[in-house]
Amino acid sequence: MRTEDVRREAAAWIAADPDAEDRAELTALLADDGPEAAAELADRFAGRLSFGTAGLRGAVGAGPNRMNRATVTAATAGLAAWLLSRDPAAAAAGVAVGCDARHRSEEFAAQAAGVLAAAGIRVHLLPSRRPTPLLAYAVRYFQAAAGVMITASHNPPGDNGYKVYLSDGAQIAPPADTDVEAAIAAVGSPADVPVAPADSPLISRAGDEVAQAYLDTICAEVGRAPARAAWLRFVYTPLHGVAGELALRAFEQAGYPQPDLVAAQFDPDPAFPSVRFPNPEEPGALDLALAQARRSGADLVIANDPDGDRLAVAIPDPAAPGGYRQLTGDQLGAVLGAFVLGRAAADPAVRMAEQLVASTVVSGSLLSKIAAAVGAPYAQTLTGFKWLVRAADLRSDVRFCYGYEEALGYAVAGTVRDKDGISAALAVLSVAATAWSAGQSLQDCYDALEQAHGVHLTAQLSVPTEATIDVMSRLRAAAPDELGGESVVATTDYTGGWDLPSADMLGYQLPGARVVIRPSGTEPKIKAYLEVVELVTGRSLASARQAAEARMSRLRAGVAELLG
């Protein structure tokens, strides 16, 4: 876009922007003739934040390509129009609205509530600074028509987002997301969108009753602490996010001891001052928690991400740097799957053939073996919990029992139809406490699973590129015959849909291994997910793991060469 066009668009945006500080921010950029200001303006008007994975997400600032009151106003007006057009009863059912502690989250939640109320839709406004799983629960608690959560999850500190849930308590999914996007595009100037005052009779402000109902539910579904749990020593951190208060209440209500808190990271802080990147998957994010664990000799470390929907766990490992090692999402996913299925199998009233468990196409396959061993059905979905928690929705013979994805997301309590780092933490504590009372550890629990079902070693590889479309086209035009010295025996192109919705993704099956390749949905990179399986029969677990590591090293090199 030409400079004069950008400046003209910026002037028009300023005239329509409902926020005085955002108007002043853009006005200052327009007055600055420097190249940095010009580049910043061009980026802010390069397009409009698109309604992507479950909603909007982007940097906070003025302009259509940023998160601000104007974009929240337009998004909410579009959502309101869509809700009313498909079901007039949605106005009475209302929309649950919540927010985390990121920059301007409370302001954006209040704006969304005002726009909904002005459209005649009842609003169930949660207290501020609450985790995302509570909002997902609140949608079903209030029997609302939808939910809106202001959060950017584990994105960088400068970001915020707008996450939408449907009446079933799960994240918005096709075709509803494209319909809402079209309704947002049809909204005119944000200045023309009516906004009800904060004291509107249509805006109901929830107290603690929703949080207590949530805690009662997850504690009942996951179960109380096992015997001798009081001796378990664990470190906990919410990474400057909003899960801390509810997590501590959950631990206490379920009967677990007070954790050793990482005090410097307990209070919500949108600047995330003690971490380079507020994502527990990133190296260094758990450094303070691990240091505290070393000082106290903790049995495990538990961390939630900033909005509380993900869970990271680290365990003692003398061979690891610093004496602790973080479990991968696939390892913890298998342990939690075995826990949930084990509880179900122990209940004589439960029919295991009805207990569906699910993971994504980029997650490891160990869960499928665990499920088969106890007679439970297993399903594979596309990435994202909007698919995982709906894995049983079109089947009358099963119910959703458990689901996970390798990116540290777990659904262990069926009432919350999304990943939930707090209920997952309760499940981890139950497994750890039960193992501890038998003189074992979480690592022993995982070892037993691989001893029974084989070593399932998973890894990821990311290749930065601005030409993701070209790379995927090249791979489709010429599938590899081998990777890492092993033959590719089958190729799956997921754009055909197969048993899943169409996705820009390729899968390669090798003897005892597989590779899935897809473009990142948020960054300019190609991501590859690798798995190597080695049976343990006739050798030690350590020997099988060494063989898996050697094969993974060769496979990783082969995939890197393929993508490079």
Report the Cα 476 to chain-centroid distance in Å: 29
Q: What is the pLDDT of residue 1?
A: 58
Are 359 and 377 in a shared domain?
Answer: yes
Q: What is the pLDDT of residue 33?
A: 86
Question: Domain boundary at 439, 471, 496, which?
Answer: 439
Are 225 and 362 in a shared domain?
Answer: yes
pLDDT < 50 stretches in the chain:
none
Task: For residues 84 and 140, give the distance between their C-alpha atoms in angstroms, rounded to a whole number.
Answer: 19
Q: What is the pLDDT of residue 549?
A: 98
Render pLDDT for 306-357 as a digit per residue (tens, 0 to 9). 999 999 999 999 999 999 999 999 999 999 999 999 999 999 999 999 999 9
Q: What is the pLDDT of residue 554?
A: 97
pTM (2 d.p.): 0.96
Q: What is the pLDDT of residue 228?
A: 87
Strand order in the sheet with 203-205: 55-59, 159-166, 146-150, 95-99, 123-125, 203-205
Are 62 and 153 in a shared domain?
Answer: yes
Are 263 and 223 in a shared domain?
Answer: yes
Q: Does the residue 449 lie in any domain? A: no
Q: What is the pLDDT of residue 496?
A: 76
Are 323 and 183 in a shared domain?
Answer: no
The one catalytic residue in 105, 153, 359, 365 is 153
Task: For residues 81 and 311, give the distance between their C-alpha atoms in angstroms, rounded to a whole number.
Answer: 35
Q: What is the pLDDT of residue 3?
A: 79
Domain around 311:
209-439
Q: Does the residue 444 lie in any domain? A: no
Type of residue found at 155? N
Q: What is the pLDDT of residue 499?
A: 76
Q: Is 153 labeled as catalytic in the residue annotation? A: yes
The domain that contains 520 carries what CATH number? 3.30.310
Q: What is the pLDDT of residue 521?
A: 73
Q: Distance of CA 15 to CAs 1, 20, 23, 91, 118, Å? A: 20, 10, 8, 31, 22
Neighbouring C-beta atoms of residue 443, cutoff 10 Å: 17
Q: Which residues contact 393 (CB under 8 A, 6 or more apart)?
A: 168, 400
Q: Distance of CA 363 to CAs 257, 315, 366, 447, Å? A: 32, 21, 9, 19
Nearest CA among 91, 58, 92 for reference residue 75: 58
Contact at 8 Å (CB) between 238 and 205?
no
Phi and psi at residue 58, to the nearest 5°: 180, 180
The angle formed by the CA atoms of residues 521, 523 and 526, to the nearest 5 degrees, is 75
Beta bridge partners of 325: 315
Q: Provide the number of structural domains found in the chain.
A: 3
